[in-house]
Amino acid sequence: MVKKSGSADQLIAVILKGIEEVKGKDIDILDLREIENTVCDYFIICNGSSNTQVNAIVNSIQKIVSRETKDKPWHVEGTDNAEWVLMDYVDVVVHVFQKHVREYYDIEGLWGDAKVTSIQTNY
């Protein structure tokens, strides 16, 4: 199934709304479309301050995306310990971290060729 980039843009906007609803921090969008052999077009990376907030971010994203786009993640993993939760929406993969785990794995560093857009939040 091939999605148009317009639908990815809409999905990203709704995912961002879900993150911001529960005050997810340090939101970055990595555009992977110019990089060969990537598993998706975009990564959205953010962090919460605890496993409770990480799960709240994940639940908020799922609820808002489902309500506004009728889309459900193809796969979700990591909710048991909620240190790093991956949500796979096929074209867009969301990584919700606790801050120390995000710093340890440094996904932005691993994908250094990606165009990064940082989202400013007002909280």
All domains of the chain, ordered by start, with CATH? 24-114 (3.30.460.10)
pLDDT value of position 109? 95
What pLDDT is attached to residue 7? 86
Q: Mean pLDDT in each 10-residue stretch from start to end of the chain (123 residues)?
A: 64 98 98 94 97 98 97 95 97 97 96 95 88
Q: What is the pLDDT of residue 6?
A: 64
Q: What pLDDT was estimated at residue 2?
A: 40
Question: Residue 69 belongs to what H/E stretch?
Answer: helix 51-69
Confidence (pTM): 0.93
Spatial CB neighbours of 55, under 8 Å, sequence gap ≥ 6? 79, 82, 85
